[in-house]
Amino acid sequence: MDAPDDVRRFVWHPDYQGQTNAEARAELLREIESDQRAYALALEGADQHENDALGTVIALERKWGMLSLDWPEVDPAALADAMLAAEWERERRQEMVPLADLSEHAHVTATPPPEDAPEAMRLTNSTARLVVLVVVALALALFLWRAFG
């Protein structure tokens, strides 16, 4: 008989070896909440500290973007559950399969704003991400222009 999900232990996994599902989920949840705060702060400070914001945004997008493109807006608990499902699948296979290959085990999307939410509120997250992408592209173009121009 299998153990309940929250008390199953990772035996093989290099990052979670010896931890129960509940312990690994708690660790993931803390990490996701911290990274979502860091992302939000990077967006807020993008005008004053372009390079720092760019570095933070790129690093966090690499880390979580393969799991969910809208990870900054996703409920951290839902994202932790999805990530835990992917990590458990890696444990089951005893192979560090790329997250992109585990999308059927771990995909989550942000909950859309309610229909009665003001239009400005519905565009805020998407607009902020677009602004960051534009700033990143402009900073990269400026860097390349200065370096090779």
Q: Is residue 130 part of a domain?
A: no
pTM: 0.68
> 37 and 50 in contact (C-beta within 8 Å)?
no
Q: How far apart are CA 52 and CA 73, in angstroms?
A: 21
Domain, as residue range, for 70: 5-111
Q: Is residue 126 part of a domain?
A: no
Tell me the CB-side half-sphere exposure of residue 68, using CA atoms within 13 A. 23
Calculate mean pLDDT across residues 12-19.
Answer: 95
Backbone angles phi, psi at 90, to 5 degrees: -60, -40
Residue 133 lies in a domain: no
Residue 121 is assigned to a structural domain of this protein = no
Across 110-117, average pLDDT: 52
Lowest mean pLDDT among 56-60, 79-83, 116-120: 116-120
State the average pLDDT for the chain. Answer: 79
In a domain, 15, yes or no: yes
